[in-house]
């Protein structure tokens, strides 16, 4: 991580990161701050967000940070949060839709409540945040939207049909919106991590241990087995890919879904 902020490619840009309290979201916020952006951390847990903001200020004393709380599946809450964030740090020029949740169940036991919850947080939230940020980007003639999807948006996995459907939807939304705004200075891309060292994976490991009796090490190895590098992706690796797509120099990149997965998924 670069400690100095002056001269960064995102100097003067306001970036808003959803799900920014921990894991991939916190790593993305750190990376964008290092690139010179001012950053709003958005999430549902105010305590976690403020702890992360305090830690980032220690790492980057010159960081310009704000915190907003909202449920991204709530249209009114999103609208109010974006208005407040823009009032503090200016129009959102960079939006990273990172907030998400994964729950597993066999298809036959996937009830409507689980199905709808996966669509709301993973897909509807991405839609609402993009709608909130886009007018300011179009007015400025410049913007970056990066949706943190998943390799589950590029292929299928058993026992997470609702999550896979939602993440496939995020990829479709990314491609459609990219075409709509391609000539208006705004790019829209998706980054698709494989199994990454986050709370979601830790919960998956605990679930495997509880249901199968395997050890934690065996459960982690099972999740890493699909990665040709035989390891879990690190949040900072995802953050680097996101940061690149946010830079002015990545202006020719739009409508892409880039896997960060050690070769698990390759473009044809």
Catalytic residue among 157, 159, 163, 195: 163
Indicate whether 37 pLDDT > 70.
Answer: yes
The whole-model pTM stands at: 0.92
Banded pLDDT at 11 (limits 50, 70, 90)? very high
Condensed to tens digits (0 to 9), the pLDDT of residues 12-34 reads: 999 999 999 999 999 999 999 99
Cβ neighbours, 10 Å, residue 199:
12
Looking at the chain, the whole-number percentage of residues with pLDDT higher than 90 is 82
Condensed to tens digits (0 to 9), the pLDDT of residues 40-87 reads: 999 999 999 999 999 999 999 999 999 999 999 999 999 999 999 999
Domains and CATH numbers, the chain: 14-194+234-257 (3.40.50.720), 195-232 (no CATH)
Task: Verify whether residue 157 is a known catalytic residue.
Answer: no
Condensed to tens digits (0 to 9), the pLDDT of residues 120-177 reads: 999 999 999 999 999 999 999 999 999 999 999 999 999 999 999 999 999 999 999 9
- Within 8 A by CB and 6+ apart from 206, the residues are none
């Amino acid at each position: 991580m670069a400690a100095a902020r002056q001269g960064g490619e995102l100097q003067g840009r306001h970036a808003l990161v959803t799900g920014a309290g921990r894991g991939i979201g916190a790593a993305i916020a750190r990376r964008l701050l290092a690139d010179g952006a001012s950053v709003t951390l958005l999430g549902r847990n105010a305590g976690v967000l403020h702890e992360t903001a305090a830690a980032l200020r220690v790492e980057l004393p010159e960081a310009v940070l704000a915190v907003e709380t909202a449920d991204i599946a709530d249209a009114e809450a999103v609208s109010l949060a974006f208005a407040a964030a823009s009032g503090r740090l200016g129009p959102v020029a960079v939006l990273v839709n990172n907030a998400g949740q994964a729950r597993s169940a066999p298809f036959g036991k996937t009830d409507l409540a689980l199905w709808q919850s996966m669509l709301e947080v993973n897909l509807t939230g991405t839609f609402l945040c993009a709608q909130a940020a886009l007018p300011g980007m179009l007015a400025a003639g410049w913007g970056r939207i990066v949706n943190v999807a998943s390799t589950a948006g590029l292929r299928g996995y058993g026992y997470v049909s609702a999550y896979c459907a939602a993440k496939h939807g995020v990829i479709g939304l990314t491609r459609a919106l990219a075409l709509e705004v391609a000539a208006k200075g705004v790019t829209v891309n998706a980054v698709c991590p494989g199994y990454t060292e986050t709370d979601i994976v830790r919960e998956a490991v605990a679930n495997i241990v509880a249901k199968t009796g395997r050890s934690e090490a065996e459960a982690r190895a099972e999740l890493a087995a699909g990665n040709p590098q035989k390891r879990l992706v690190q949040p900072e690796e995802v953050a680097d890919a996101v940061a690149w797509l946010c830079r002015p120099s990545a202006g020719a990149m739009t409508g892409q879904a880039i896997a960060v997965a050690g070769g698990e998924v390759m473009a044809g």
